[in-house]
A = this chain, B = another copy of it.
Amino acid sequence: MGRAQMSDIAQLAGVSASTVSRALRNPEAVSDALRAKVNAAIEQTGYVPNRMAGGLAASRTRTVGVIVPSLINTFFAATVEAMADRLEPHGYQLMVGTSGYSPEREEALATSFLSWLPSAMVLTGTHHARGTLKRLVGLDIPIVEMWELGDNALDTTIGFSHRDVGREAAQHLFERGRRRIAFAGAAIDEDRRAWQRREGFLDAVRATQHQSPISHVIPQRASVEAGAVVFRELLEMHPEIDGAFFSNDALMLGAMFECQRRGITVPQQIAMIGFGDLDYGAWSSPRLSTIRPPRREIGLAVADHLLKRFNDSSAGGEVIDLGFQLVPRESS
């Protein structure tokens, strides 16, 4: 038996081929009974519709190109999973690429993805190479920049303010009675959202204490290991600190292990707060205070926005602020 054709489905379902085609193209436009008959015939034959032909006819494929810095980072993995969960039932597939925080790699991916005539493009953040901007400006498909709210948006941005995250972290440490508080980060030249969290934190310290704030950043990528390193160096330079904001939870976990090794008590000697609300923070000893970004919520909001746009091309240019949540636990 060869590959099943649309005519086989039509015959089994007892309808015309054009009716099968309509049921496949726009399932909402046919009756439940007809849809059920067509689906049963598809199931029986193992028929696979050719989306490529449909894509050429419509001059767009039902793909959405998504570029994130990394998937080995549950922040973005959760966003991508949620986006796929919401879009797949509507017949849209994600083409996913990871840029490794490199604008050049993002440009190469964007160029490659555009050659597939996607229905939409989703990028992370609002900072891109000039070549990426050149390719995206003026395209007649929805472009969403996520995880950040930018002034210079290409089209729609969906995310939250990382400066406000930094401000809230400083405020929280002050409220816990800490006075010599520091920022600890890693590779923030590459990760501009981490850079913004730092700026917000330093602004809040300057505004409250009228003195130059403490900050230490190492060039290596954020990880548990990097957290131990940046915290050790920070303590050597500033043994007087009584609180710290870590640019993400992986760094904070590394610092907490470093404290356990040195016999430093958390939060008694040093209060800690991070960013990300990663899996382990709620169960560590002590449990880690953090700021929770809307990881899944961003993916769902991007998907919902795109589904709206596919039906109403006049929408667009929105700024959707999903906010974030302070999660105080035992470490602060």
- Given the interface pairs A72-B74, A95-B63, the reply to whether A279 lies near B223 with Cβ below 8 Å is yes
A11 lies within 8 A of chain B by Cβ: no
Over the window 35-51 of chain A, the binary record of Cβ atoms lying under 8 Å from chain B Cβ atoms (1 yes, 0 no) is 00000000100101111
> Are A52 and B109 closer than 8 Å at their CB atoms?
no
Is A164 at the interface (CB under 8 A from chain B)?
Answer: no
Per-position binary interface string of chain A over residues 258-290, scored 1 when its CB falls under 8 Å from any chain B CB and 0 otherwise: 001100000000000000000110111100000
Q: A50-B115, A52-B116 are in contact. Are A77 and B71 (CB under 8 A)?
A: yes
Among residues of B, the one whose C-beta sits closest to the C-beta of A283 is B224
A261-B285 contact in complex given A97-B93, A112-B93, A113-B93, C-beta closer than 8 Å: yes
In the bound complex, residues from chain B placing their C-beta under 8 Å from that of A46 are: 131, 134-135
Give the interface segment out of A12-20, A53-61, A306-314.
Answer: A53-61
Q: Is B279 a contact of A250 with CB atoms below 8 Å? A: yes
B63, B97, B115, B116: the one contacting A84 at CB < 8 Å is B97
Smallest CB separation, A36 vs chain B (Å): 17
Per the 8 Å Cβ criterion, residues 91-138 of A in contact with B are 91, 93-98, 108-109, 111-117, 131, 134-135
Partner of A96, one of B96, B113, B257: B96
Question: Which chain B residue has the least Cβ–Cβ distance from A137?
Answer: B46
| CB of A204 within 8 Å of the partner chain | no
Is A225 among interface residues, defined by CB-CB distance under 8 A?
Answer: yes
| CB <8 Å contact, B98 and A283 | no
**Measured CA separation A135–B47 after assembly (Å):** 8
State whether B61 touches A71 (Cβ < 8 A). no
Q: Which residues does chain B contribute within 8 Å of A109, judged by CB atoms?
A: 88
Q: B94 touching A95 by the CB < 8 A rule?
A: yes
* A166 interface residue per 8 A CB criterion: no
Question: Hey, which chain B residues are within 8 Å of A53, CB to CB?
Answer: 56
> Could you write out 30 A-B pairs with CB less than 8 Å apart?
A43-B131, A46-B131, A48-B115, A50-B117, A51-B117, A52-B52, A52-B116, A63-B95, A70-B77, A70-B81, A72-B74, A72-B81, A73-B77, A74-B74, A80-B96, A84-B96, A88-B108, A91-B112, A93-B95, A93-B112, A94-B96, A94-B97, A95-B95, A95-B96, A96-B96, A223-B279, A224-B280, A228-B283, A261-B285, A280-B280
Closest 5 CB pairs between A and B? A71-B77, A260-B285, A51-B115, A224-B280, A48-B114
